[in-house]
Each structure stands twice: as C-alpha cells, then as structure tokens.
Amino acid sequence: MARRAMSLLPRWSSRVFLVDLDGAPLYFGIQEEHWEEKAPRVFRQFQKQDKYYSLLVCSRDRIKGAKFYAELKDKLLRDLPSGCDLTTICSFLPNVRDSLIKGYFLKSNTENSPQIERLLSQLEQHDPVLVCSYSEGEDEQWTQHLWSRAESKATASAKQYYLVSSDVPSYHPSTLNIINSDVFYSFDEAYDVLKKCSDIIPEAMSVLEKLPSRVKARRKPDFPVIVIEGLDATGKTTLTESLRDTLGATLLRSPPQCLSPWRACFDQEPPLIRRAFYALGNYITAEQISQEGMKTPVIVDRFWHSTAAYAIATAVSGPLCNLPSEGSEVYRWPSDLFQPSLVVLLTVDPEERKRRLRGRGQGETDEEQELDHNQLFRLRVEEAYRRISGPACVTVDASPSADLVLQQVLLLIRGKCHL
C-alpha cells in the first residue's frame, strides 16, 4: 500500500466520506465495531446484486496527485466496462484543514466485477490510490473493505469497517483544502506550485520568468487605483474604457496580456496548477499598477476578487449555505498583494446578461458555460464576490445605459478617491 495511504490508516475510522450521487451529497462514516446501526441512506438504495468500489488519490506530492486525479477519470472512463457508473467521492477529517482526499466511486453489475477488480488491482499496485470495496451482509449492514497492496482483490482478509450514518458538516468539506490550493494568499505559495511543476509543464518556467522581483517592497502609487469586477457581459469593458478616457487614467487588465500565450495551456491543468497560474497573474498586474500609478490614476479590469470568487464557487458545490461563512479566512485579501483604492462590482439581471452574451456571438469559457447552465454556480460566484474583504466590493447595478452607469461610478470614485 502506498506510504500516503498507510499514513492515513491510524485515523481512518475517524474519517467521513461524501459521495456525490446524482448531484445529491450523501455522507457516511465508518467504525471498526458492529453496533447494529442502520446503514447510511446512500447505501439503502443500492442493490445487493451490484458491486461498489471507491478509489481515493493519496499522493504525498500534491502536484503529481492533482495531475493523477484528473488523468484517473479519463483512464476509468476509457477502461471501465460499459454499464459501470462513475461519480466522485471524497474523505476528510471533520474541521481538520488540508485533510480532504478526493477520488471516484464506482457501481457495477456482478458480471463486470472481475474485469473491474483486475483494473483496480493494477491501479492499487502501481499508483497513489487507496481502493475500497463495499458489500452488504446478511443483517443488511454494509461494510467497507480496505484493500492492501498484498491483495489482488478484496477478500475476507482485507481490513473491514462497518458503515454508519454521519452528520452533515457545517460547510462543504472542500473548504478544508481551499487555502493555497484553490485560492492563493501569497506570492510564495503560488510561485512554489509553478516552480514544482516546471519539470512536467515546460510552460511554467516561461511564466516564472515574467514574474516581478520580490527583493524590495513596492511604493504605494501616488494616484488612486480603481478595480472593476463582475461576470462577463456586465459591461466591464465599456465602463473601464470610459473611465480611462474620462479620468485620463491607465487601463490594465488581469490576467495581464503577457500571460496570454500560456492561458490555454494552464486552463487545461488541474485546479491547483491553474489557480496558481492566475494568482501569479495578479502579482504581475500589481507590479504594473505600482509603476503606472506613479503617473496617472489606474483602472483595472478584474483583479484578485475574480480569481478568488471563481475558485471558491468552483471548489464548493451545492447551495449558498455550503460556502464558508462571512468573515472566514477564505475571503481575506492576500497580505502581500497591493490593495486598490476602490473595487466596483457590476451586476445585471441574469436574463439580461445572457442576452448580452448572445449578442456578442463569441465562444464561452468553461466557467462561462457553467454560469449559464448552473444557477447555483452563478449565485456562489456572486456571493463570494460580496464576501471578500480588504477591500470589499461596492455593488453597482449595470442594467441602465452605459452613460448612467459611468456617472454612478464616477460619483463613487470622486467620493472615495477624491478625483
């Protein structure tokens, strides 16, 4: 068994599991003794004639683990026999930061089980995965069988645990691993990820060469810096260009133009690597702000709010109540990143935003497609925007004409920034 898996075993019976079954999060725990407790709801709807398995990615190297987790799904979809259902599973220690491990949950009929167990055995022998199988006993009690490297398949000698119901945690377990995995709070943390993956992603070194020096502290700009945030098609481009012309300001964008050659590459990477790339883009933009802000006011089209809000909303599935509460450290501004004078969040009615997107006739990013098709995702993004502090966003309704929105924002700038 992989060393990472072995390190988990001393606390294995304390862990909680979450299976995403048809979009419904279902939790269960395990225990070593049989207390005649009913099986968790997730298993009561399963059929005794079917077979169930889970694979948890337990790599000590989080870069390689993130890559393997993404590649594992493709391998399973390619190699599993037809009729096998695949969904996600994760395991965590309640309220313990960085304890989340992710994987996949499989359901199959008995006929396909020999082929599946051969595949899982090969994975367990050579890759950083922890494999479990699940079965129902005569007393309708479900058990989890923890495979060991010595096992070619789940057998009676494998470590056995009894499945029990578990309380739903206060917040989605993915929040346990958000800090410096989905959202980065320092230059050094994001830099470290790209540095460590440069041997497997050559483009990472090109990105690192674009980064500003961290040797000396930057002066605070003499002129105000105003960030305009919002979903696509809320009018950011029109407003930022109008503010540039009206105020005689410099217009910057995040991620910066210098990273454009590598965006397509990093958009295909797992969240850990992709989010580190975009986090570092904010530090490049901050360097540009420090230079241009000595000469003119600076308008920035998106900044750290966007990077964090989309990452949080993607990592945390389900309704708004799954988000960390207001005031959580997840929403804090990075201590080493420049803080703008004012952040304006543009909002429009969802139907109006869709109409504007259709009018553009442009292709959408994966996240934009998710915004259009998943109302809960859009609501999570908007709420994450609102909860980020240091500075917080000032919300402006961008539904009126562009001229009226410009005048409203100019009033805010004059009141806050004295321009």
Looking at residues 25-37, what average pLDDT do you find? 81
Given 119, 141, 169, the domain boundary residue is 169
CATH number (domain holding residue 268): 3.40.50.300
Both 309 and 218 in one domain: the answer is yes
Domains held by the chain: number: 2
Both 159 and 186 in one domain: the answer is no
Both 134 and 208 in one domain: the answer is no
Both 137 and 32 in one domain: the answer is yes
Q: So what's the pLDDT on residue 374?
A: 77
Given 145, 169, 193, the domain boundary residue is 169
Both 162 and 307 in one domain: the answer is no
Both 209 and 348 in one domain: the answer is yes
Q: So what's the pLDDT on residue 218?
A: 66
Q: So what's the pLDDT on residue 151?
A: 46
Looking at residues 230-247, what average pLDDT do you find? 93
Q: So what's the pLDDT on residue 153?
A: 46
pLDDT tens figures, 372-415? 557 888 899 999 999 999 899 999 999 999 999 999 999 999 99
pLDDT tens figures, 127-180? 789 999 998 877 778 889 988 754 444 444 468 898 888 888 888 899 999 999
Q: Which residues pair with 340 in a beta bridge?
A: none
Q: Which domain holds residue 145?
A: 3-169
Both 133 and 39 in one domain: the answer is yes
pLDDT band per the 50, 70, 90 thresholds, residue 38: low
Instruction: Give the residue with greater pLDDT, 355 vs 106.
Output: 106
Both 343 and 296 in one domain: the answer is yes
Both 141 and 67 in one domain: the answer is yes
Both 241 and 332 in one domain: the answer is yes
Given 169, 188, 204, the domain boundary residue is 169
pTM comes to 0.89
